[in-house]
Amino acid sequence: MFLTAAQIYDLLIENKITNSFGNIKFEFLNLSVNIREKSAIGDLFQEWFAQWLETNDIEYRTPTNTQEFPDFLLDSQSNIKNLLEVKTFDYSRSANFDVANFEAYNRSLRTQAYRLDADYLIFAYLLLDGQFKIEKLWLKKIWQITGKSDKYPMKCQIKQGTIYNIRPVSWYSQRAKFKPFNNRLEFVEALHQTLMKYPKTQVSSNDWLNSVLQNYLSHTGQRL
């Protein structure tokens, strides 16, 4: 059956996902080990989530290349609507997952601006003594989890002056220094400002904002 991201969110809440405990095990050669290392949890949880969708008879597709956007296509008849990204982070720390690769995402918006409407299902987990728990769950749009930083109009992961990924702000914290954007247009304008400020992309980005605005209108019939 077809469910929207909002309906999936509601079903997860109905299933009491934030009141349940479990563990992550690796079994091999008659040995069973509880996993306490957090680095693989994102990929493992996404595997669990796909199985949960199947168990609940919820339709979905995944890209041929699992590294491509989005994680899940919920509509069997459309590649531009009902796009779902799944993100996880350790709730004992600030959210620091990769929202998207900075340059690849910006390139894609020139011709696939409908990606701006993708849903982000975000699971905050705790892993204590091998026991796994989903502490919080959110369903957000990309502009509701991103914001500016001290260095750029868009918060990003930066290493030795190179921008790699768009990173989230602490949208869930009242004490956060930087708040999320208010809408799609504010998010896109901040991306453009960052492109124009970042030396690597300055020259090629003059027409970027107009391209995205026109492409979004072409795909959706609506203005940003």
> 167-213, pLDDT tens digit by residue?
999 999 999 899 999 999 999 999 999 999 999 999 999 999 999 99
Q: What is the CATH number of the domain that holds 213?
A: 3.40.600
Tokens of 183: 């809408």
Q: What is the mean pLDDT of the chain?
A: 95
Token pair, residue 11, equals 């079903």
Sign of torsion over alpha carbons 170, 174, 176, 182: positive
**pLDDT exceeds 90 at position 215:** yes
Count of domains observed in the chain: 1
Domain extent, residue 85, equals: 5-220
Report whether pLDDT(40) > 90.
no
**pLDDT at 54 exceeding the cut of 90:** yes
Paired tokens of 77: 């008849």
Beta-sheet pairing, 83-90 with 119-128: parallel
Read off the pLDDT of residues 125-161 as tens digits, 9 standing for 90 and up. Answer: 999 887 899 999 999 999 999 999 999 999 999 999 9
